[in-house]
A and B are shown apart, each in its own frame.
Chain A
Amino acid sequence: MLEKGKISAFQMAVLMYPTIVATALLTVPSITAAYADNDLWLSPIWASLIGFVTVLVVDALHRRYPQKTIIQYSEHILGKLLGKAFGAFLMLLYVLLTALVVRIYAEFLVGSFLTQTPIVVVISTMLLLCAFAVRGGVEVIARAATAFSPFFVLPLLLLIVLLFTDFQLDRIFPIMADGVGPSLKGALIPQGWFTEYMLLAFLLPFLTDREKGRKWGVLSVFAVMLTLLISNLIVLFLFGTDVATMLYPLMAAARYVSFADFFENLESLVMAIWIMGAFIKISVFYYATALGSAQLLNLSDYRPIVLPLGFLITLFSFWSIPSLMETSKFDVAVFPFLGPLVLTLLPLLLLLLSFVRPARQEGKSS
């Protein structure tokens, strides 16, 4: 085993929560609103369905191949050559996804706060920090996520309390004026985030209580769905359908807070929390990439390749995404299709194949 650490199923759920929510909270409300108007709060519910499917598929695969990650069992299922090709493809995609997350994080910071800071500084400092955590292993990342998680949930509640007087609750009506169509359309893009639950394929083998993996995975999806639903409601109550025109609506909501002449400009606080969330998200992706690559290359330890991978990710974050415009284009036009196809459908295919060709697995492993 490359990873000696063990986490509990609960820790896994806590770990996945910021991993999904961190970037979703920023852009999902406005993207959803563009299609769903005032039904935007329904979209996360539809979108979460694919999250549940992903979790169940990955968990079923895990049950068939316990203590193996997707990189390892894909070789069993597809055969050596095809399996390696699949693994290489997946790892390349993960490098790209990690780079994308880092880039989104950096763009947001540079765009909103550190306007004069070179973006490469923001990217490389974060990756360096994540490399530090990734080298510590899954235990360290999970523990850091547990330590940060209260800071992630409480501000959202605080936002509700502080903004409650400004809410116009009737903005929610009419509910489903044009049927489910708009809200379903709005769900098209957020569902990409839920497919990221495929990451569980890298975490499930390290659980202490494996039988609880499915339960907590599903609960984690549910918590993410609930969070997105609430955040969508907050911006809806606050801004109405204008949300669609905003880049980071929740950020605008935080800026909106003015309480007792002192709690003003809470966006710095939001930024601080966002950095924590981004840190967890990037670390988990980074970890999956490092562990998967090491398993793909049959290395005895994944730690030596963590820093080199960090350089690669830094480079990818510039090569693959030239500008913020490209990022949002990728978010809207590419990932909603790439995500379900690769992160949900391919594991599902693997699962089906593993049922169809169980004999192969023995032949290969001997």
Chain B
Amino acid sequence: MNRNGRKWWRTNKHKLEPARQNSPSPYAHLTLSKETKENLQTLQDIYSKCSDVIFRPFYIGKTIKAHVVFISGLCTVQDVDQYVLTPLMQANENEFPDMEQMAEQVLAVSRIKNLATIADCIEEIGSGNPVLLWEGEERALSLGLAKWEKRNIEEPSAEVGIRGPREGFTETLDVNTSQIRRRIKDPALKMERMKIGGYTQTEVIVAYMEGIVDQTLVEEAKARLNRIQIDGILESGYIEEMIEDNPASPFPQLKDTERPDTACSALLEGRVVILVDGTPFALIAPVTFFALFQAAEDYYQRYIISTAIRWLRYLFLGISLLLPSLYVAIITFHQEMVPTSLLISMAASREAVPFPGLVEALLMEITFEALREAGVRLPKQIGAAVSIVGALVIGQAAVDAGLVSAPMVIVVAITGIANFMVPRYSVGTAVRLLRFPIMFLAGTLGLLGVMLGLIAIVVHLCTLRSFGVPYLSGISPLKPKEWKDILYRSPWWAMKTRPHFTGEFNQYRQAPDQKPGPERSEDP
């Protein structure tokens, strides 16, 4: 123990203190003074060596000196010229003695904000709004002319569908909120704005439906977001990792979506949607394991088919998790399980293979994972080459050379396809990862190992919560009312209640007895 009462192995003389301050801005205390020169000097000091910040001095009318400060590229120069410089220069300063009147009558800009401190000015300039400084005024004026190059609304590439809207979120927050607002016009849709990230000052929006959502959930979400103290948020993944319930889990505890329709349906179910500026991926909380297997299109196609497809997904989830392990377990320990004729053909193809089942499986699975990862990161033109090499070398040549057996290739291929059946990439990757430990267990303990691994995963899923909602909610704890969207996708006229997460909620989403039939309406 040293003097500070810390243990000797903990003493670290040169340890840096972690940043306590969320915002690095040291200008918060600076107010604007009457002397424009001073203000200007402060701003110029702050923005020294920032070649993209433009200071434009001019005269309002003929006598009043003014400055407009903006960042080039974050607003269009034409707008500044046309709506700010031209009218102000041509105005008669004697007609409008103070700034407010001038703004009201001359400036043709709809979003205008009074600024009192330097920090406010910096914030506005940073977000692209030109700031107007004025001789003899203690205030500055922010002009909402921010406009920058943005990507067009495109079809979401990570969540493709046959039927359903084709537009996806973009990197621009305003576009994303407008896409949601266009679908849900009611003012009960609330969007609370906050800024996270010391340097990036990223705008984050917490959207929810007032009256549907459990208010404690919103409070919890906001509290968790407010806790974040980080230098920057560049993607919603940052936020996801900072607010999830159990960080030590391969399973995602928030759903990410690129589709506004998915986000809106989540809002209408009483979930909270978190939109982050700079990324097309919105976060949805809370989420259950089964909600991650619902694709947007399930709700647009006929319910019978959607139900069947959902079951296909569950089946292939099992296959993608267990098939290689089951194969390894069976060829290593439980040959008696296989019907005799199949066993003979399997044995024949494995005859020349020099590896034990586990090694063979690992070899193939790891190669497959490598191929897949290579295919994702490569430029599209080279991607084709990877798949050709993969198919020919790994598939054909490896079998011909007797390195792996043909059934193993089939198993790997089916596993690969099965993994693509999971509609959420983030769950798919979790399952992808978990199949390796189970393969080891299968290679050492056979079916017992597979079962132990499976039980461990289920127990882990049972411990998980997403914003307090049990991850397997619906199946365990058992809620038969929730089965309408888990075991089957019930038709819309039968989906009477919203899913229940926590606390009080607005239960009914539609009027009863809407099942359509051949009878004509009595009053047309």
Contacts and interface: CB of A to CB of B under 8 A. Distances in A.
Interface of A: 8, 10-11, 14, 109, 113-114, 117, 121-122, 125-126, 129, 132-133, 136, 139-140, 142-148, 261-262, 264-265, 268, 271-272, 275-276, 279
B470 interface: yes
6 A-B pairs closest in CB distance? A146-B476, A143-B462, A143-B476, A275-B451, A147-B476, A136-B463
Nearest to B333: A114
B451 A144 contact: no
A109 B462 contact: no
A113 B459 contact: no
Contact of A147 (B447, B448, B475): B475
Contact of B478 (A140, A146, A265): A146
A8 B470 CA distance: 14
Interface string B413-449: 0000000000000000000000000000000011111
Contacts of A144: 455, 458-459, 462, 476
Contact of A126 (B337, B452, B470): B452
Given A146-B477, A272-B447, 11 more contacts: A122-B445, A125-B448, A133-B462, A136-B459, A140-B459, A140-B462, A143-B462, A143-B470, A143-B472, A148-B455, A275-B455
Given A129-B455, A129-B456, A140-B463, A147 B472 contact: yes
A147 B334 contact: no
| Dominant secondary structure of chain A at its interface with chain B | helix
Nearest to B465: A139
Contact of B455 (A14, A121, A142, A279): A279
A151 to B, nearest CB: 10
Interface string B478-511: 1000000000000000000000000000000000
Contacts of B339: 261-262, 264
B15 to A, nearest CB: 30
A121 B446 CA distance: 13
A11 B478 contact: yes
B463 A268 contact: no
Contacts of B455: 129, 144, 148, 275-276, 279
Contacts, number: 85
B447 A8 contact: no
Contact of A265 (B336, B445, B450, B451): B336
Contacts of B448: 109, 113-114, 117, 122, 125, 271, 275
Contacts of B336: 265
B477 A132 contact: no
B451 A143 contact: no
A147 B477 CA distance: 8
Contacts of A125: 445, 448-449, 452
A265 B477 CA distance: 33
Given A117-B445, A268-B334, A143 B477 contact: yes
B459 A268 contact: no
23 contacts: A10-B478, A11-B477, A113-B446, A122-B448, A125-B452, A129-B459, A132-B456, A133-B462, A136-B459, A136-B463, A140-B459, A143-B462, A144-B455, A144-B459, A144-B476, A146-B478, A148-B455, A265-B337, A272-B447, A275-B448, A275-B452, A275-B455, A276-B455
A141 B455 CA distance: 11
Given A11-B477, A147-B475, A136 B462 contact: yes
B469 to A, nearest CB: 12
Contacts of A276: 451, 455
A284 B288 CA distance: 26
A355 B411 CA distance: 66
A133 B337 contact: no
B323 to A, nearest CB: 15
Contact of B446 (A114, A139, A145): A114
B452 A147 contact: no
Nearest to A11: B477
Contacts of B476: 142-147
Nearest to B340: A264
Given A140-B462, A147-B476, A271 B447 contact: yes
A114 B441 CA distance: 14
Nearest to A125: B452
A8 B447 CA distance: 33
A262 B458 CA distance: 29
A125 B472 CA distance: 25
Nearest to A136: B463
Contacts of B463: 136, 140
A11 B470 CA distance: 14
Contacts of A121: 445
Contacts of B334: 113, 268
Contacts of A8: 477
A147 B471 CA distance: 12
B125 to A, nearest CB: 50
B480 to A, nearest CB: 11
A118 B478 CA distance: 38
A272 B470 CA distance: 26
Given A11-B477, A126-B452, A265-B336, A148 B458 contact: yes
A323 to B, nearest CB: 21
Given A121-B445, A146-B477, A265-B336, A129 B452 contact: yes
B462 A147 contact: yes
Contacts of B458: 144, 147-148
Interface in B333-365: 333-334, 336-337, 339
Nearest to A8: B477
A275 B478 CA distance: 22
A317 B448 CA distance: 19
A114 B413 CA distance: 30
B439 to A, nearest CB: 16
A139 B334 CA distance: 35
Contact of A133 (B446, B447, B459): B459
Nearest to B462: A143
A14 B470 CA distance: 18
A147 B336 CA distance: 29
Interface string B277-311: 00000000000000000000000000000000000
Contacts of A264: 339
Contacts of B462: 133, 136, 139-140, 143-144, 147
B337 to A, nearest CB: 5
Nearest to A7: B477
Nearest to B337: A268
Contacts of B461: 147
Given A147-B462, A268-B334, A113 B456 contact: no
Contacts of A136: 459, 462-463
A121 B450 CA distance: 15
Contacts of B475: 146-147
B103 to A, nearest CB: 58
Interface string B178-208: 0000000000000000000000000000000
A268 B446 CA distance: 11
A262 B452 CA distance: 26
Most buried by A among B334, B446, B451, B452: B451
B173 to A, nearest CB: 38
Nearest to B473: A143
Most buried by A among B445, B446, B463, B476: B476
A113 B447 contact: yes
A148 B477 CA distance: 12
Nearest to A109: B448
Contacts of B470: 143
B478 A114 contact: no
B41 to A, nearest CB: 59
A102 to B, nearest CB: 13
A114 B445 CA distance: 8
